Amino acid sequence: MSENRHRIGVFPGTFDPITNGHLDVIRRGRKLFDELVVAVGDNPEKAAALDQAERVQIICEVVADLENVRVEAFSGLTVDFARGAGATAILRGVRNSTDLQFELQAALTNRVVAGIETVFVMTGTEYAFTSSTLIRQVASMGGDVSALVPPAVIPHLKKLSKHGSDDMLDEAP
């Protein structure tokens, strides 16, 4: 007998900034759930380059055309947010074996502590090297990151540039 339960997935992260790799996981992951919540949190171990409200606003703009995706800010434990959202699973993107090792440990802990499953989606090969940290570093040096992030992110990264360069604002046609 099949269960007709509304399946909600939560894709948590700091998204500082959101990358094309994140967007790839969102687009593919949303097909696995009736509703996907992109949960924008803060990592107390990292100083964010973009504030949480700005990250939420950017992601809302980027996913506006995706019907079953919504964006919410959260603080605290991801599992607490996921339970509060009625999620059946947490969605995580995996780029490489280092990610997998970390994510597997977190997934097992979340299942034991909170009874919530984790669904892994492998990132597309073209995004396997992309990270928000790398993008922030390149942007802060005035480098062109337009191939790595959605166009809506570029104006927000301009303020990170130590060189005052507009080179990274050259959006692809």
Alpha helix locations (H) across 20-165?
Answer: 20-29, 52-62, 78-84, 97-114, 132-140, 154-158
Q: What's the Rg (C-alpha) of the chain?
A: 16
Catalytic positions:
22, 46, 95, 132
How are strands ordered across the β-sheet holding 69-73?
69-73, 35-40, 8-13, 89-94, 117-122
Cβ neighbours, 10 Å, residue 21: 22
